[in-house]
Amino acid sequence: MKDTPIEITHINVGEGAKGNTTIETKVEDYHYTKAKGSGDCSYPMTLFCPKCSDTHEFNSRFGEWREKWLVEAKDLYFTIKYEVDADGCLFAKCEKCDFDLREDYIYGEDNLKEEKEVQIHNISIMGATYKDNSVCIPLDSYKKAVKEGIAWKSDILVSISGSKYRIMFIDFTNPENIVSKGEFIYIKWKCVRNRNP
């Protein structure tokens, strides 16, 4: 009885095989890109994880989460797997965070849980002065305060002539209360409170 010769097929990364013939695997597209306004926006063509994906951003002016104007391909996570539940029904879930796609994901709900546990944060700003019935602070300091304050709705603390004052997040981020002049931001004095009201 003769032995059947064994053929070994070597497959490189990115290749597939049919029998002993190597073939190039097709990369599946999960999204498409379309021009939107001044940029390009990526749109999903299949299920994606809403919890892992970065498709929404917090709008501090209105105090709510909104869909991003331009979603990039890197913002979408297509880490979906399928499992069978106790009733024998097939369902999709994220294999990265285990989020069940049968549930509705409310954007920002994770942040709200964290906010309840986090103590009140304040941001101190150096170089503040009183001018034109306003608190005058450097533009760079203002930008940093807004950027840092978004996560916790932090108030800012300023020291003017030895006295300390507090300006609430909702006041110093409201466009009606601020005026930009050169390299400085002027926040209306009506927004200023004593540090310990």
Domains of the chain: residue spans and CATH: 31-115 (no CATH), 122-194 (2.40.240)
> What pLDDT score does 111 carry?
53
Sequence-separated (6 or more) residues with CB below 8 Å from residue 54: 68, 71, 75
For tokens 């294999």, the residue is 95
> What pLDDT score does 187 carry?
93
**pTM exceeds 0.95:** no
Give the three-state DSSP class for 67. strand
Tell me the mean pLDDT per 10 residues along the chain, length 197: 78 80 79 90 91 83 81 90 92 91 80 48 86 91 85 84 85 90 92 66
Order the strands of the 155-160 sheet from edge to edge: 122-125, 155-160, 163-167, 192-194
Cβ atoms 93, 101 nearer than 8 A: yes
C-alpha torsion angle, residues 70, 73, 79, 82 (rounded to 10): 80
- Beta bridge partner(s), residue 131: 134
Residue 30 burial (10 A CB sphere; 0-12, 13-18, 19+): middle
> What pLDDT score does 135 carry?
92
Cβ atoms 40, 70 nearer than 8 A: yes
> What pLDDT score does 82 carry?
92
